Structure 1
């Protein structure tokens, strides 16, 4: 850039010559940040995280460049001034613990339980584990070029082009809903997005959130997002969103309705900048059961149809599941044609079934043999694609309930495949 200082220009040239030199890139990012060019510093920190996932210095620099305040450290000295330790010593032996274990050999007592269950489980944001930026990239996803292009436009291009992002007013926040038949790789794609962004990955499902005690479920939702904000950049992946954020009009449980309300609040953020660097991806097999408020602009306002793997993707999946099995004379091109509409899970099951057939045959004859095309094609004929029932339901929804063109991409696919 023309307004670069000589030092920044020199460092840019050095980074271009050695893109994998993380300390050098972070030094450039520090200079850019000091010069008030935070967007460029974010881009350099993101590139550093791609070369060194989990690097603490790169993550800290990115957090500062985004303007995210560090988590406050509680001061043990602050408080009401009351000496609780002295009061505890004074009543020691007079007031018994609320709950005590009887008959234990050491005579020890369990930790006191609270009436709202807060002491029974994780209870705060520190209990949520964020996976470090992984090595999975979109290049590791076989085929699915349309999906990759949409993800590039929604998340990746703005991160890699800070000047264009600033020009077009694109923030680093975003929400995307992945939907489609079960077993087609929605979770794997979400992890690949986190890898591309050099971001942490926090996966959440209904089992993680739902709690017996009143208010605890909503607190769990809040803690998840607080964790993501503190460890930004972070991808929050909401698995099976139809269970976590189902339509409130169909929900009889006030607890589940409150969870949806809390989720809406967290997606909006306390302020416009609260969720900066937090990328929300959600997945569902039944998007028509998701509460409409979750798909309002500014929340999960973009949808992406994840279809059964195409030819190149099926070949990559089959190759992966056969890589450590004894095979011979396998014609992958022929097998790919025989597995139209198979999901990724179906293809894994096909390889397992073919291996089982060869194993049983070897056990009966006493002679070990390899897995061949006969086993694989036999398994393909035996297994019915699990995507069929999903498309049967989705066809009705796309035909009669396509409000606002929500399912135009699904209708287009069904017409191309002559399923409509």
Structure 2
């Protein structure tokens, strides 16, 4: 481009600053064509057509740049900045009948490396991502279709990867996993390959992590669903979304459907003033019963911090009829969590034994925050003194002293429910824990 005229060089800079200015780009293409640079003129005309498909001036310029016959066209006038005006609708220019038909397919192939395709056909890779973008059943490509839900393939995470929490693992094995792993015994005792389990407990204690580990133990796909995936402003769409979730799970069976924050998705209908949410709960009950489809191989896990706010119909036998209390991590679990959050930080002489003892009742999220606070303290000291120092036991113990376990507020609320609303013995394990910790 070193032999280009100063005017063309200036126009290139102007086009780069305003890529959507079609008249300016066409003026540049006209000057390039007059200067004998047909290839560059074709590229500029092609880009102009992507911004203004069907523009007669751009098509005519493209035709002349490609060497085809064209009707005499008036030169493109230099672009002069003017006040914005309301665009007028012009009738399409009809080409003369004597004009030879232009081969647009050949032109498109020639400029294909300059201008990406405007549309992606079904089952063809998206130019931006390289992945397929399948259209939905109605051709809309709407993300609400079941094909848009993320279904994770069976992963390598197992219960052995969950630090400590032996009591939780034993209860999971006895009440949920053992029957699923033994098809002969299951067949003998008439146990269906389906099930529902409700995980409840203080926030930040690893309920989601345990659900993923259960999916790994079962060798099943994993599908996480929250309120935002289901609730829709349009009448009937929320119920359809619930149905599509289970349709996808049945197609991917064996599959674990994880209903996160069940108190939001399956709230008590008597307290709900949103008709869409009530209808979504009704549809969820239908899907759990498998009335409209066979749920064989679909395992439903749910998690909530407030099981007393979940609609009671969801917890009746045959649905989410088994419950498991997920308590704050015990000592082995706390040590594993602390090791994980400190492994990539600059530490020296950290006594995890001391730290584990002073973090009784801390949730996994609390422990992560503790490590962040200690790291921040060491960082601020390093910035103040100008000398980098490592994170030590003193930083971590000081951070632990400043923090209060976030689980205390949850146990204060759960205590009253366990004492006065323990219908059917659902909270017997919570009562046993409170008595053990002398919180009753």
Shift of 1:119: 4.9
1:371 maps to which of 383, 391, 394? 391
1:216 maps to which of 237, 244, 248? 237
Q: Partners in 1 of 2:436 and 2:52 — Cα distance?
A: 71
Q: Partners in 1 of 2:338 and 2:413 — Cα distance?
A: 28
Shift of 1:124: 2.7
Kindly provide the CA deviation profile for residues 355-390 of structure 1, in whole angstroms up to 9, marking residues without a partner as x. Answer: 110011011111111110110000001111100110
Checking the alignment, whether the CA contact within 8 Å between 2:266 and 2:311 is kept in structure 1 is: yes
Checking the alignment, whether the CA contact within 8 Å between 2:221 and 2:254 is kept in structure 1 is: yes
Q: Partners in 1 of 2:360 and 2:54 — Cα distance?
A: 65
The reply to whether residue 277 of structure 1 matches residue 292 of structure 2 is: no
* Residues 320-339 of structure 1 aligned to structure 2 (within 5 Å): 320-339=340-359
Structure 1 equivalent of residue 374 of structure 2: 354
Q: Partners in 1 of 2:327 and 2:158 — Cα distance?
A: 19
Checking the alignment, whether the CA contact within 8 Å between 1:118 and 1:216 is kept in structure 2 is: no
| Bigger Cα displacement from structure 2, 257-266 vs 153-162 | 153-162
The reply to whether residue 199 of structure 1 matches residue 146 of structure 2 is: no
Change (3 A) 1:172 1:366: same
Choose 1 or 2 for highest CA Rg: 2
Change (3 A) 1:347 1:107: farther
* Residues 14-413 of structure 1 aligned to structure 2 (within 5 Å): 105-106=52-53, 119=140, 121-270=142-291, 274-413=294-433
Q: Partners in 2 of 1:413 and 1:123 — Cα distance?
A: 42
Q: Partners in 2 of 1:290 and 1:198 — Cα distance?
A: 29
Shift of 1:251: 0.4
Q: Partners in 1 of 2:416 and 2:194 — Cα distance?
A: 34
Q: Partners in 2 of 1:130 and 1:155 — Cα distance?
A: 22
Q: Partners in 1 of 2:52 and 2:352 — Cα distance?
A: 64
Shift of 1:323: 0.7
Change (3 A) 1:364 1:297: same
Shift of 1:125: 2.1
Kindly provide the CA deviation profile for residues 162-200 of structure 1, in whole angstroms up to 9, marking residues without a partner as x. Answer: 221122222110000000000000000000001111100
Shift of 1:328: 1.2
Checking the alignment, whether the CA contact within 8 Å between 2:232 and 2:276 is kept in structure 1 is: no
Q: Partners in 2 of 1:119 and 1:254 — Cα distance?
A: 27
Shift of 1:404: 1.2
The reply to whether residue 415 of structure 1 matches residue 435 of structure 2 is: yes
Q: Partners in 2 of 1:353 and 1:125 — Cα distance?
A: 41
Q: Partners in 2 of 1:118 and 1:243 — Cα distance?
A: 31
Shift of 1:107: 7.2
Q: Partners in 1 of 2:426 and 2:232 — Cα distance?
A: 33
Shift of 1:159: 2.8
Shift of 1:242: 0.2
Alignment RMSD: 2.1
The SS at the match of 2:318 is coil
The two structures have a TM-score, normalised by structure 1, of 0.71
Highest relative contact order (Cα 8 Å, sep 6+), 1 or 2? 1
Q: Partners in 2 of 1:123 and 1:394 — Cα distance?
A: 36
The two structures have a TM-score, normalised by structure 2, of 0.68
Structure 1 equivalent of residue 103 of structure 2: none
Change (3 A) 1:372 1:118: same
Q: Partners in 1 of 2:141 and 2:235 — Cα distance?
A: 13
Change (3 A) 1:107 1:330: farther
| Pairs aligned (count) | 312
Shift of 1:215: 0.5
